[in-house]
């Protein structure tokens, strides 16, 4: 079993990470804002469905409306990730194409000052250092498709539909494609589940009077059912 399996290349994955190379607080802030915006959009979509229901819409009409809301959300999410990649891929391309760290950092400093002006020099330097670490360079050379065909063990691919760090459709599709030679590979996309496999906020348990994030019950059920199906019959 593995977590955070990627079908996309390391370059594609890092390009879609919010504020790649910047302090974690900035990335967390961007993710929180995106999550709030998505929650507002989902609530508005559900409100339209409920209004139609109260006006006497039939089941088919309600289903069409729900599908339209879902498709609009998917389209907006695709545009968000594409915009992130447009901003961040040039920085990562500098790292990929410039093997000398000192030269790469100088080029990054110039690009960062244009991309996010009016930051302290120490901040730009810290970002340039993070983008040229051995880990970042190694991950930019990561191409999982070259290795997936060699996987022979049973595989259950789970991806949350509310993952804000990777495109559920693109990543899961590539993983499924890479494992197409395995007869023991299954894939599922879990509705309302995020990158950390936490379920929707309305499913979180109350701890000390406050809702606390918890692993999605849908994910746990899927894993348990899959393992039980693989287990040999009891004698």
Tokens standing for 115?
């991309």
Question: How far is it, in rounded angstroms, from Cα 215 to Cα 220?
Answer: 7
Identify the pLDDT of residue 225. 93
pLDDT digits (tens, 9 = 90+) for 108-146: 999 999 988 999 999 999 999 999 999 999 999 998 888
Q: Do 109 and 95 form a contact (C-beta atoms < 8 A)?
A: no
pLDDT tier at 233, thresholds 50, 70, 90: confident
Q: SS3 for 82? A: helix
**Percent of the chain residues past pLDDT 70, beyond the cut:** 93
**Percent of the chain scoring above 90 in pLDDT:** 31
pTM for this entry: 0.69
- pLDDT band (50, 70, 90) for residue 234: confident
CA 216 to chain centre: 16
**What is the DSSP code (8-state) at residue 215?**
B
Say which residues have a Cβ less than 8 Å from residue 21's Cβ, sequence separation at least 6: 91, 127, 128, 130, 131, 136
d(CA 89, CA 95): 10
Q: How would residue 58 be classed by pLDDT, with cut points 50, 70 and 90?
A: confident
d(CA 151, CA 178): 9
Distance CA 72, CA 47 (A): 15
Q: Helix, strand, or coil here: 158?
A: strand
């Amino acid at each position: 079993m593995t977590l955070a399996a990627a079908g996309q290349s390391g370059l594609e994955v890092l390009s879609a990470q919010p504020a790649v190379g910047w302090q974690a607080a900035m990335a967390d802030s961007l993710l929180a804002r995106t999550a709030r915006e998505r929650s507002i959009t989902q609530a508005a979509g559900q409100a339209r469905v409920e209004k139609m229901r109260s006006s006497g819409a039939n089941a088919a009409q309600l289903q069409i409306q729900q599908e339209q809301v879902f498709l609009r959300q998917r389209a907006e999410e695709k545009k968000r990730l594409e915009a992130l990649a447009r901003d961040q891929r040039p920085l990562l391309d500098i790292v990929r194409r410039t093997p000398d760290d000192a030269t790469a950092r100088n080029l990054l400093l110039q690009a960062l000052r244009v991309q996010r002006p009016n930051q302290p020099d120490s901040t730009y330097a810290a970002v340039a250092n993070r983008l040229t670490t051995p880990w970042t360079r190694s991950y930019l050379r990561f191409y999982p498709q070259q290795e997936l065909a060699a996987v022979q063990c049973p595989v259950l691919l789970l991806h949350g539909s509310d993952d804000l760090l990777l495109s559920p459709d693109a990543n899961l599709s590539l993983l499924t494609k890479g494992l197409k030679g395995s007869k023991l590979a299954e894939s599922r996309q879990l509705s309302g589940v995020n990158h950390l496999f936490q379920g929707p906020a309305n499913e979180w348990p109350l701890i000390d009077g406050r809702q606390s994030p918890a692993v999605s019950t849908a994910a746990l059920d899927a894993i348990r059912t899959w393992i039980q199906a693989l287990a040999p019959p009891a004698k």
